[in-house]
A and B are shown apart, each in its own frame.
Chain A
Amino acid sequence: MTWIGANLGLILDLTAVHLWQSVVALVLGVILSVPLGRLAWRYRLVRGPLILLTGLLYTIPSLALLILLPAVLGYSAISETNLVVALTVYAVAILVRAVADGLDSVDDDVRRAATAMGYGSARRFWTVELPLAGPVILAGVRVTAMSTIALATVGTLIGVTNLGYLFTNGLDRRLIEEVFAGVAAVVVLAVLVDALLVLAGRLLMPWQRAATGRGRAARTPAEEVSA
């Protein structure tokens, strides 16, 4: 544990940077996915192509996407922005589906009841449909958070510094401890963020605590696997 002890400051700094990059991508992903997911849910014609397009982007291996995106959009590949954009693209790919699936899971009777009480379409979306789609969306966000945090390490290959630096540097210096510290820090960070998301879910969706039967529906988007 000598290396870890001597480099705790470095590990913490890298963790902070790593967390920042991941959180920005995750938040951007959620912000973009809610309207896109709603669009996909409302219009069958949009849903097919949108799911297909995000699915194709999701299929492209991370290292290739980190090169292709800047080449297409015309910015430098060797930048933090590039990593965050690529992670956001992956996040959107998972979350658009999660939002659409979540809206699917809302009971039609509830929707009709809200309409009958006089909710307008926008108000109904924000106060009835989105909260009720919450559990499925949260499951998607949890999957996205985990895979984003793990995936961000690839950024080190394009010269972006984060916890992935401990892998390349550890390999160069043949320091197993350093690489192990990197892997452990990523896993711990992912688990902590996941725990925070679960906690946030409990606070934001208190009605969920009574009904645990949701687990099955919430697991579906989680079958996706990070690339």
Chain B
Amino acid sequence: MNFFADAIRWLADPEQWTGSYALPVLLGQHLLYTVVSVLIAVVIAVPTGWLIGHTGRGREIAVAVSGAARAVPSFGLLILLVLLFGVLQVPAAALVTFVLLAIPSLLAGAYSGIEAIDRRVLDAARAVGMTPWQVFWKVEFRLGLPLLIGGLRAATLQVIATVTIAAYVNLGGLGWPIIQGIPLRRFDEVLAGAILVAVLALVVDLLFAVAQRAAVPAGVRAVAT
């Protein structure tokens, strides 16, 4: 357990809290890349997913895309894009990688949320005189929200994991102490970095779990109990 004691000692060292590789800076970079890329992916994938779920068209393509995306190694994609963009454009290449990786889960969350709604409920919504927009907003959006948040959760965690690896191309982020420490055999630093990354992911996951639970409409939750 003295590995962990070393790691804690490293974390507590004031040296890690100042300078351009200070932990708060690394955390800030990690969060910034995650938030920006997930937001861009949301703008692209969520409306597309809703359209697919609403019309039922393009479903096969969406399923194929999210299935095939699983086989693509995120680390390889990152480095491929870094080389394609040129080594001076690392942040842009990384951002594109993160967006690409976030899209499949968001797409799946958006379309499966709408697809999972009982057709009879949608039929009834139309029959009582809801406009197409009201059917979407009051019924499809609301009932599909938990699965959409599930997709957002998966996408965000995927990006957090990939931002960690992206320290390898000098992007910064909390992966930096790990990537920097391994070749130098500085295991206190490596372990400290790993702990920080794990805690970040777990906290974000927890927040999403709470949001996902809160998004389930009370009447639907009542079925489960």
Query: Do chains A and B directly touch (beta carbons under 8 Å) in the complex?
Result: yes
Taking a contact as CB atoms under 8 Å apart, the answer to whether B202 and A67 are in contact is no
Q: How many residues of A contact B (CB 8 A)?
A: 52
Between A and B, 14 residue pairs with Cβ closer than 8 Å are A59-B202, A62-B161, A64-B178, A64-B195, A66-B194, A150-B70, A150-B71, A168-B79, A176-B83, A179-B79, A180-B80, A182-B76, A183-B77, A187-B68
Which of B13-21, B50-58, B104-112, B127-135 forms part of the interface with chain A?
B104-112
- In the assembled complex, how far is the CB of residue A53 from the closest CB belonging to chain B, in whole angstroms? 12
Do A164 and B76 form a contact, CB below 8 Å, given A149-B71, A150-B71, A171-B169? yes
Q: Name B's interface SS.
A: helix
Of B41-49, B136-144, B152-160, B210-218, the one with at least 4 CB within 8 A of chain A: B152-160
Kindly list chain B residues whose C-beta atoms are within 8 Å of the C-beta of A166: 76
Q: Does A56 contact B (CB under 8 A)?
A: yes
Q: With A143-B70, A182-B76, A223-B112 known to touch, is A71 a contact of B201 (CB < 8 Å)?
A: no
B197, A63: Cβ atoms under 8 Å? yes
Binds B, one of A99-107, A114-122, A151-159: A151-159
Partner of B191 from the list A71, A167, A219 (CB cut-off 8 Å) is A71
**Pair B154/A170 contact, Cβ less than 8 Å:** no
- B73's partner among A168, A183, A219, A227 (CB-CB below 8 A) is A183
Residues in B neighbouring A150, C-beta threshold 8 A: 70-74
In the bound assembly, the distance between CA atoms of A226 and B179 in angstroms comes to 21
B67 within 8 A of A: yes
Question: B164 at interface (Cβ–Cβ under 8 A)?
Answer: yes
Q: Is the CB of A171 within 8 A of B79?
A: yes
Q: Is the CB of B73 within 8 A of A61?
A: no
- 1/0 per position for B90-127, CB-CB distance to A under 8 A? 00000000000000110011001000000000000000
Q: Mark B186-208, 1 if CB is under 8 A from A, else 0.
A: 01001101110110011001000
Question: Bound complex: CA of A71 vs CA of B7, how far in Å?
Answer: 11
Q: How far is the CA of A64 from the CA of B202 in the complex (A)?
A: 12
Overall SS of chain A's interface: helix
Chain A residue at smallest Cβ distance from B104: A225
Contact of A171 among B83, B157, B191, B201 (CB under 8 A): B83
* Cα distance, A176 to B205, chains bound together (Å): 35
Q: A68 with B158: in contact, given A150-B74, A171-B79 (CB under 8 Å)?
A: no
Q: A108 in the interface, Cβ–Cβ < 8 Å?
A: no
Cβ-based interface call for A191 (8 A): yes
Report the bound CA distance from A225 to B193 in whole Å.
Answer: 24
User: Quick check: A171 and B154 within 8 Å, CB to CB?
Assistant: no
Contact at A68–B202, with CB atoms within 8 Å? no
Please judge, given known A-B contacts A61-B198, A71-B191, A225-B105, whether A187 and B72 are in contact too, CB under 8 Å: yes
From residue B182, how far is it (CB to closest CB) to chain A in Å?
Answer: 6
